[in-house]
């Protein structure tokens, strides 16, 4: 199939700064500081500052940022951690790797963000932390989170893998809780040219422990105070991220403008049963993904819509088709179908449309022409078969 509009296209971001990226890589090659080098230290400081946070500790992936970050916050064996059922499996794996017990909560069907009222119902005496996943580029309300943490005496550990520089209630993603994990997977709003992640924290002791944990648990060379691991953000990746970081606010703004175009077009489909996920944070939403629900009242199915778009050369995605509690690998947690109805319903309804800086107005119109064609074709088929 000829792809006319890919789900993700990084060329708009990379081409104008290609020379800067190449020069940054060459500088690392010349310096030879491939591990824990100067570019990493510079990026850690600048990304933390951009996120209104004190410390940044680069690691090998977003998953490691969660797993090691929780350990750095002294969350582990015997502790329960609340997280949403509708998140990427990395959030769950991070909790398990930290040694803690994951406790799922359902989500808000309008935003797909964790439902804090549902989360409150699963708090126990063992609950140590809650992980609000800032999903699709929108933060869970910091004001509500802080109230929740104070009421239930738990830590807030943010999963901000999809929310680079997102804002809400006067807070930036990564600045609300004791710590926050970010991913720099290439397709993220701020992406590396491979895997990478970072832990942000305002707590100096958490930062010090995280520095040890990512580097074999060493307080200094050959002196290991805890069983850490090898998880360091490569200097080459940090150098690339350092060059891209100044452009991130502009790229996020372009994502917002594209989302507003989508919203305007979807207004024409208000009665069709296709509903965009609700934006409750205005310009603070950084739209890592643009997600819609194909509800039961819609005359076309999600599969039919995906197929028509695919036949037109338009790629789409589903984030995520199977909630964590129903994944075969984690049946030992004891959850079953029906435990989290909102997450389960969304998994059957949601569809992610192309979203990236550089997506043009004409391309958005082309996407909607294909959506409209889906409805027209279905109606014609019904008339023929009627």
Residue numbers annotated as active site: 188
Alpha-carbon distance of 86 to 109, in angstroms, equals 11
The answer to whether the peptide bond before residue 320 is cis (omega within 30 degrees of 0) is: yes
Residue among 146, 129, 126, 122 nearest 70 (CA): 129
**Cα–Cα separations (whole angstroms), residue 379 to 110, 158, 294, 308, 373:** 28, 45, 17, 14, 10
To the nearest 10°, report the CA torsion of 140, 259, 371, 358.
Answer: -130
Residues in Cβ contact with 289 at an 8 Å cutoff, skipping those fewer than 6 apart: 136, 137, 162, 317, 319, 352, 355
Cβ distance 13 to 357 under 8 Å?
Answer: yes
DSSP output for 327-350: -GGGGGG---TTSSHHHHHHHHHE
CA dihedral sign, ordered 279, 280, 286, 289: negative
**Cα–Cα separations (whole angstroms), residue 90 to 95, 163, 232, 324, 379:** 9, 15, 18, 10, 41
Q: Look at the block and give the residue holding tokens 């028509």.
A: 308
Using DSSP, state whether 324 is helix, strand or coil.
helix
Residue among 113, 133, 123, 118 nearest 153 (CA): 123
The dihedrals phi and psi of 328, each to the nearest 5 degrees, come to -55, -30
Residue among 352, 357, 381, 382 nearest 367 (CA): 352
Alpha-carbon distance of 194 to 7, in angstroms, equals 18
The dihedrals phi and psi of 205, each to the nearest 5 degrees, come to -70, -40
């Amino acid at each position: 199939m000829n792809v006319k509009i890919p789900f993700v296209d990084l060329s708009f971001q990379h081409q104008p700064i290609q020379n800067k990226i190449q020069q940054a890589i060459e500088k690392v090659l010349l310096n030879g500081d491939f591990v824990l080098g100067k570019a990493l230290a510079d990026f850690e400081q600048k990304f933390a500052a951009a996120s209104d946070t004190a410390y940044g500790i680069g690691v090998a992936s977003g998953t490691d940022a969660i797993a090691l970050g929780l350990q750095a916050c002294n969350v582990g064996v015997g502790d329960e951690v609340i997280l949403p059922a509708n998140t990427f499996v990395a959030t769950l794996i991070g909790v398990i790797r930290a040694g803690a017990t994951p406790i799922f909560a359902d989500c808000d069907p309008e935003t797909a963000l964790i439902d804090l009222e549902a989360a409150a119902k699963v708090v126990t005496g063992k609950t140590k932390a809650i992980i609000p996943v800032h999903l699709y580029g929108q933060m869970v309300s910091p004001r509500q989170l802080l109230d929740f943490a104070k009421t239930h005496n738990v830590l807030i550990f943010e999963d901000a893998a999809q929310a680079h520089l997102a804002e809400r209630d006067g807070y930036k993603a990564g600045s609300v809780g004791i710590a926050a994990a970010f991913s720099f997977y290439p397709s993220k709003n701020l992406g590396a040219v491979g895997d990478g992640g970072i832990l942000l924290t305002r707590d100096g002791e958490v930062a010090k422990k995280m520095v040890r944990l990512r580097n074999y648990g060493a307080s200094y060379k050959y002196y290991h105070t805890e069983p850490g691991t090898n998880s360091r953000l490569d200097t080459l990746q940090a150098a690339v991220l350092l060059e891209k970081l100044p452009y991130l606010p502009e790229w996020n703004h372009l994502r917002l403008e594209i989302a507003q175009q989508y919203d305007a077009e979807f207004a024409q489909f208000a009665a069709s049963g296709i509903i965009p996920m609700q934006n409750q944070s205005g310009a603070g939403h950084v739209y890592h993904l643009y997600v819609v629900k194909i509800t039961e009242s819609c005359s076309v199915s999600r599969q039919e819509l995906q197929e028509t778009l695919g036949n037109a050369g338009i790629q789409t995605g589903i984030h995520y088709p199977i909630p964590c509690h129903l994944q075969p690998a984690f049946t030992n947690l004891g959850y079953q179908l029906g435990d989290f109805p909102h997450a389960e319903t969304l998994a059957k309804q949601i569809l992610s449309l192309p979203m990236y800086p550089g997506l043009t107005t004409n391309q958005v119109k082309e996407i909607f022409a294909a959506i409209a064609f889906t409805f027209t074709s279905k109606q014609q088929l019904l008339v023929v078969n009627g």
